[in-house]
Structure 1
Amino acid sequence: MRIANEGFAMPKTLDRHDLMQLFVRIVDTQSISAAGRLMGLSQPAASRRLRMLEDMLGVRLLMRTTQQLSLTEDGCMFLEDARRMLTDWQRSAEALKGEQGELSGSLKLAVPSALGQSLFADIACDFLRLHPRVRLDWRVCDDPCDLTTGGFDLWIRVGPVRNESLVMRTLGSIERLVVSVPGLGGLEEPCTGPAELECFPAVLLSSYDGREFTLTSPGEETRNVKPAAAFATDNLFAALQATTRGIGYSLLPRWLIAEHLQQGSLIVQCPRWRPESLRLCIAFPQGRFRPKRVSAFVEFLRSAIPESSLGIYLTLE
């Protein structure tokens, strides 16, 4: 790839770094305006900087139409080099910061709505107290559309991550129980088997429960239950509210109902049968250098989750 320098005032080193970073973000987001927003630039300013980079290199990096952006042959070559140079820079900077022993910088996370408003929010606050120079951008959402476009460093999700453009790791599993208020449907004792549940209304969490769910006995015998939904919602706190008001039984995570079980306001139905646990996953955008503060937060999260009492069981590494 030819680089033309004659007659062009070369930007200083920091400017070259910013121009390369802008170019990579334009490619990742497929949008000049979105990449500009991530870097605090207007769309016209981002366009000017892209032209500045192309003028500096003496080549056309992107073909721009009203519908899409596409890399030129030179753009493909430069993208690989730009990613490598940016990664090398970030690794060197992180190594030097690590020598100082203090984490700093911003960290943008997408977290599950219920855990992100309760247990994980408390853990995040403890992390900030330990690392006061870190800034957290804490976005509560179960299904972010695009981590790259949104500039997220980390996605914590309950349930599998079905996105091949992301690097996914299983953090652990979340135990669920079949619960209801005492005396469900006039019963004096809890249901002992899955078939009895179908006689009563259910509160369904539509994000995870479909037209049927499976219960497993201690002997690994399985039974499918087809619930009669009296109340269906995609919000875990709404499902808990409906369950504690006696609308029906539901499948809820132990971490959410631990105090209700202790107080006796909820009881376990079919106590010898267990529903399938939910996966707790973390995901990262591919091809992006992960700062030390990202791995530090993941490790802090792992160490701070009280597994035994809340039914969150972490995988071994």
Structure 2
Amino acid sequence: MDLFDSMRIFVRVVERGSFSAVARELNMGQPAISKQVRALEQYLGGAVFARSTRHLALTDQGQRFYNHCQEILSQLEHATRSFASGQEQIAGPLRIAAPVSYGRLCIAPLIGAFLQRHPDVQIDLRLNDYNEDLLMENIDLAIRIGVVKSEGLVAVPLGTSTRRVYAAPAYLDRHGQPREPAELAGHNCIAFTLLEHYDRWHFTHRGEALEVAIKGNVTSNNSEAIREMVLGGLGISLSPQWLFAADFEQGGVCSLLDEYQTTALPVSAVFSRERRRSARTMAFIDFLRENV
């Protein structure tokens, strides 16, 4: 077994959510993918997936191993890029695309520090919640949250976006606090519609995968709109920690069901396979890996 190859396959299975999708992506048979994961589990001495009939979820140990794999593979990619980049000058225009809320809250605050390090770069930051065509829009680099499915893109892992269940104290005073995921079915849940299967929330508890069909009287395709509605006491949301971090610290929202693990979404820097990777693009990716 090649450990690095098995780690790469394992990471892709986590990100794609199925063995068959990764088999198609890598032009391999599904039994070969399953065999690689089983060999990895045998090597580790434990299961990385809590398999169920409807959803493939990580065990607690599998989640920790996945986080380590992302870091190790990112470092390997970084070392390879650093060797290949040579002494190319880091200068010129850099067009970056990012989701609106994540770009405003997590990327924009970092731009100044990057430009202090590389003052000859000119950045055009484009915020859009829809995935733009990188070649057609002449975009050097895009930040994507969730699984990157396009085979025409190279995805460099930056980390994961951990999600929690949030509600305002005013909502909980009126409707009570759910004590387990199944009770969410009786609450007004605000769904983020840009995610696949947004009407089903997934949890893991003690190695068991749980799926809850949620319902509510409002949905939105914008994270900050959901934040405002949650703060206003309208309902409960499953949202990234970075979206509610300040509100949570100030007591504006409560984090619910903390003993249940939610599915973290991968955060990636992506670029087109057909576009030349400039030194400034690689420098910004390295900067994000240090600071995101």
Q: Which TM bucket (shorter chain)?
A: 0.5 to 0.7
RMSD over aligned Cα, in angstroms? Answer: 1.9
Deviation at 1:125, TM superposition (A): 2.2
Deviation at 1:191, TM superposition (A): 2.1
Residue 191 of structure 1 is matched in structure 2 by 178
For the residues of structure 1 that align with 2:132 and 2:102, how far apart are their CA atoms? 19
| Residues 192 and 272 in structure 1, CA contact (< 8 A), matched pair in contact too | no
Residue 229 of structure 1 is matched in structure 2 by 216
Deviation at 1:250, TM superposition (A): 0.3
1:177 aligns with 2:164: yes
Equivalent pairs, count:
207
Spell out the pairing of 1:133-152 with structure 2 (5 A cutoff): 133-152=120-139
Residue 153 of structure 1 is matched in structure 2 by 140
2:107 to 109, 120, 125: 120
Structure 2: unaligned runs, 5 residues or longer: 1-84
SS in 1 for 2:126: strand
1:214 to 182, 194, 202: 202
Deviation at 1:213, TM superposition (A): 1.3
Structure 1: unaligned runs, 5 residues or longer: 1-93, 306-317
Residue 294 of structure 1 is matched in structure 2 by 281
1:59-96 alpha-carbon deviations (Å, 9 max, x no partner): xxxxxxxxxxxxxxxxxxxxxxxxxxxxxxxxxxx856
TM-score (norm 1): 0.61
Deviation at 1:188, TM superposition (A): 8.6
| Residues 190 and 268 in structure 1, CA contact (< 8 A), matched pair in contact too | no
Deviation at 1:296, TM superposition (A): 0.7
Deviation at 1:130, TM superposition (A): 2.0
**Higher relative contact order by CA 8 Å / sep ≥ 6: 1 or 2?**
2
SS in 1 for 2:135: helix
Q: Work out the percentage of aligned pairs sharing the same amino acid.
A: 29
| Residues 231 and 242 in structure 1, CA contact (< 8 A), matched pair in contact too | no
Spell out the pairing of 1:48-59 with structure 2 (5 A cutoff): none
Spell out the pairing of 1:89-100 with structure 2 (5 A cutoff): 97-98=88-89
TM-score (norm 2): 0.66
1:110 to 82, 97, 100: 97
1:269 aligns with 2:262: no
Deviation at 1:124, TM superposition (A): 1.6
Spell out the pairing of 1:61-72 with structure 2 (5 A cutoff): none
| Residues 216 and 273 in structure 1, CA contact (< 8 A), matched pair in contact too | yes
1:4-37 alpha-carbon deviations (Å, 9 max, x no partner): xxxxxxxxxxxxxxxxxxxxxxxxxxxxxxxxxx
| Residues 190 and 270 in structure 1, CA contact (< 8 A), matched pair in contact too | no
Letter in 2 for 1:176: R
**Residues 1:210 and 1:189: Cα distance change in structure 2 (over 3 Å):** closer
